[in-house]
Structure 1
Amino acid sequence: MHNIRWDDLQYVLAVAEHGSLSAAARALGVNHATVLRRITAFEEDIGQALFDRPPGGYRVKSEMREMLAAIESMGRTAERIERVIPTLGKGLEGTIRLTTTDSIADLLLPRILGDLARLHPKLSVDLMISNRHVDMARPDAEITLRPTAALPEGLVGTKICTMGFAVFAHPDYLTATPDTDPQQHRWLAINLPRSPIRDWQDRQIGSAVHLSADSFLTLSRLAEAGLGIAMLPAFVGRSSPKLVPAPAFPDLLEFDLWVATHPDLMKTERVATMMTFLADAIAAGAEFLA
């Protein structure tokens, strides 16, 4: 057992999670033979097989699940170390990684980050723009700034304000298509699987989707071109001089805007200061988002 290395355990975890050598190899960015070699070496070190090998995949033996749980615990510890090491001793210097949506990055952050640069000139920000769910258990980002119905488990943070959503379109489109029946409209739909708007779309729009995208900014540009009608964050719709609320669809949805991080990082001055700054700056203009 003293010969077991953490590198080998990463391969074990990948195979256990993905269920096959090929899927684990893709996740780790290595070839199939490397995964097989490391799994075989691990099993030789412990003196017994960890996996059953039924046709089409790998499955952890029932009697080895306790060992797998211990390995998974080691994996979580290693991820905590990866998250914390870059923050040690840096104070308000260095780089902080912030993930948010393209709408927030484009319409809210330029002014806020300008103010941040003046207050903390030695602190740089690495923006990770993604409209899809980000796993904050991984060390890719330190802070997330996103609207959500509830803060995901495993994160801690601050509810900044309420974000409103409403239906917008170009005036010419509304003049040409004044119907109150949603099925008579060309809908521009968001296709994000975890978007809080998806349930509303499923209820109201059904199959009447003309175009879809994974970005509210893109949907707003399509609506500006007169290509259809869309449920948008209110601040996105109001930021466009070419869009107006659709009176036939007065639905107003609201979701909380959160700034959050992993509990391990909340104790660091750099992360805590950045989160407080973002929350205060956005809350000061909360009416723009409502």
Structure 2
Amino acid sequence: MSGNNWDDLRYLLAVARHGSLSAAARMLGVNHSTVLRRVTALEEALGVRLFDKLPGGYVLTAAGDEMQRVAARMEEEIVTANRLLSGRDMRIGGTLRVTTVDLLAVHYLPPHVAAFRARHPELRIDLTIAEASLSLTRREADVAIRLTNRPPENLIGRTLSGLAFAVYGARSYLEGRGGGRDPAGHDLAGHDCAGHDWADHDWVGLDETFDHTSMARWLQRSVPAERIGHRVNSVVAVMEAVRAGTGLGLLPCGFVDRQPEFRRLGPPVEEVGSAIWLLTHEDLRHMARVRAFLDHMAAAFARDRDLLEGRGGG
């Protein structure tokens, strides 16, 4: 049956997962009418209605739910086959898809990616910034560089380094606040942050999307809520707000200690920090371009480990 092939089933899966034709079209890189036409053709070929169009979006019928399960199994088999074949590709060319968080993408990876491409000019690096992990199992990415203390169990990789955080303020802000002294007039630099009353300072904090993190928990314990006058949902945004003089903030030592406009107000906060993991799927670990990138990045992070773990300045 001409409509009942994998290409048509991709459209069924996209609409089922996203709940609308427009969202499915964006994911597939086609227009709205193409999705509608392909789904309608599949329904006609099968002789059943696959979706009910409700006010809240497209919902699978009983027949559609059965077909969705069949299509999902087919997708898994195709993705697995592609992974296994890609894992045998020994060329250092083509495209390598890397996913990471904005902090690493903006403040660490660019020179290392540039050096890697200089060695392998036939290889294209597609870098996606995503706080949530893209699926390496479904080949949404080949390599992930993540800040986590609990990497996914279905991936393999290595810990590259720790990432320490400490309290920082812009020198311009601190000069207007006694040069970085606590309310009693003591110099904050070089002392344990836990011993200071931070209520005398303005702060840049993190919004509720970070409530599960050790950074947010430390701020809740250490800083009165009314002193947090600016909240953001990105560590990069905290860095830039602190740089602008908005207030103090918890920042990653490895990306701030060498920037003269910042001043560290104490050693790394012990209960705040993360490991940096380099991850891939087991089926891809022997692919030449993946292997080369893993080795290159592991060496880069190893050289910078003291800095990243807060021993490089301050």
Q: TM-score range by the shorter chain?
A: 0.7 to 0.9
Match of 2:308 in 1: 289
* Secondary structure of the structure 2 residue equivalent to 1:239: coil
Match of 1:229 in 2: 248
After superposition, the C-alpha distances for 1:124-153 in whole angstroms (9 at most, x for unaligned) are 452526253241345453222221122135
Counterpart amino acid of residue 278 in structure 2? V
Q: Identify which range, 8-17 or 199-208, moves more after superposition.
A: 199-208
Q: Given the superposition, is the C-alpha separation of residues 51 and 124 from structure 1 closer, same or farther in structure 2, using an over 3 Å criterion?
A: closer
Match of 1:61 in 2: 61
Counterpart amino acid of residue 202 in structure 2? R
Cα deviation for residue 210 of structure 1 reads: 2.8
Counterpart amino acid of residue 136 in structure 1? S
* Secondary structure of the structure 1 residue equivalent to 2:157: strand
CA distance in 2, matches of 1:125, 1:25: 26
Match of 2:10 in 1: 10
* Secondary structure of the structure 2 residue equivalent to 1:59: strand
Structure 2 counterparts to residues 1-290 of structure 1, below 5 A: 1=1, 3-62=3-62, 64-80=64-80, 89-105=89-105, 107-109=107-109, 112-113=112-113, 116=116, 120-122=119-121, 124=123, 126=125, 128=127, 130=129, 132-137=131-136, 139-171=139-171, 173-174=173-174, 176=177, 178=182, 180-182=196-198, 184-190=200-206, 193=209, 196=213, 197-201=215-219, 204-205=222-223, 206=225, 208-247=227-266, 250=269, 252-290=271-309
* Secondary structure of the structure 2 residue equivalent to 1:91: coil
* Secondary structure of the structure 2 residue equivalent to 1:58: strand
Cα deviation for residue 117 of structure 1 reads: 5.6
CA distance in 2, matches of 1:114, 1:57: 44
TM-score after normalising by structure 1: 0.79
* Secondary structure of the structure 2 residue equivalent to 1:149: coil
CA distance in 2, matches of 1:260, 1:169: 33
* Secondary structure of the structure 1 residue equivalent to 2:209: coil
Structure 2: 5+ residue stretches without partners: 184-195, 310-314
Q: Identify which range, 173-182 or 67-76, moves more after superposition.
A: 173-182
Structure 1: 5+ residue stretches without partners: none
Matched-pair contact (CA < 8 Å) for 1:131–1:215: no
Matched-pair contact (CA < 8 Å) for 1:100–1:127: no
Matched-pair contact (CA < 8 Å) for 2:50–2:64: yes
Q: Given the superposition, is the C-alpha separation of residues 70 and 188 from structure 1 closer, same or farther in structure 2, using an over 3 Å criterion?
A: same
Q: Given the superposition, is the C-alpha separation of residues 81 and 210 from structure 1 closer, same or farther in structure 2, using an over 3 Å criterion?
A: farther
CA distance in 2, matches of 1:258, 1:91: 25
TM-score after normalising by structure 2: 0.74
Cα deviation for residue 280 of structure 1 reads: 3.1
Q: Given the superposition, is the C-alpha separation of residues 61 and 256 from structure 1 closer, same or farther in structure 2, using an over 3 Å criterion?
A: same
Cα deviation for residue 167 of structure 1 reads: 1.5
* Secondary structure of the structure 2 residue equivalent to 1:259: strand
Counterpart amino acid of residue 131 in structure 2? R
CA distance in 1, matches of 2:62, 2:200: 55
Match of 2:192 in 1: none
CA distance in 2, matches of 1:70, 1:207: 54
Corresponding pairs, count = 289
CA distance in 1, matches of 2:269, 2:244: 22
Q: Percent identity?
A: 31
CA distance in 2, matches of 1:244, 1:184: 17
Matched-pair contact (CA < 8 Å) for 2:209–2:233: no
Match of 2:189 in 1: none
Q: Identify which range, 77-86 or 182-191, moves more after superposition.
A: 77-86
Q: Given the superposition, is the C-alpha separation of residues 125 and 106 from structure 1 closer, same or farther in structure 2, using an over 3 Å criterion?
A: farther
Q: Given the superposition, is the C-alpha separation of residues 250 and 135 from structure 1 closer, same or farther in structure 2, using an over 3 Å criterion?
A: closer
CA distance in 1, matches of 2:111, 2:5: 48
CA distance in 2, matches of 1:270, 1:248: 39
Q: Given the superposition, is the C-alpha separation of residues 186 and 76 from structure 1 closer, same or farther in structure 2, using an over 3 Å criterion?
A: farther
CA distance in 2, matches of 1:77, 1:101: 29
* Secondary structure of the structure 1 residue equivalent to 2:11: helix
After superposition, the C-alpha distances for 1:65-94 in whole angstroms (9 at most, x for unaligned) are 343222112223444566677776452344
After superposition, the C-alpha distances for 1:245-266 in whole angstroms (9 at most, x for unaligned) are 2349956512111011233322
Matched-pair contact (CA < 8 Å) for 2:166–2:267: no
Counterpart amino acid of residue 220 in structure 1? M
Counterpart amino acid of residue 271 in structure 1? V
CA distance in 2, matches of 1:209, 1:277: 40
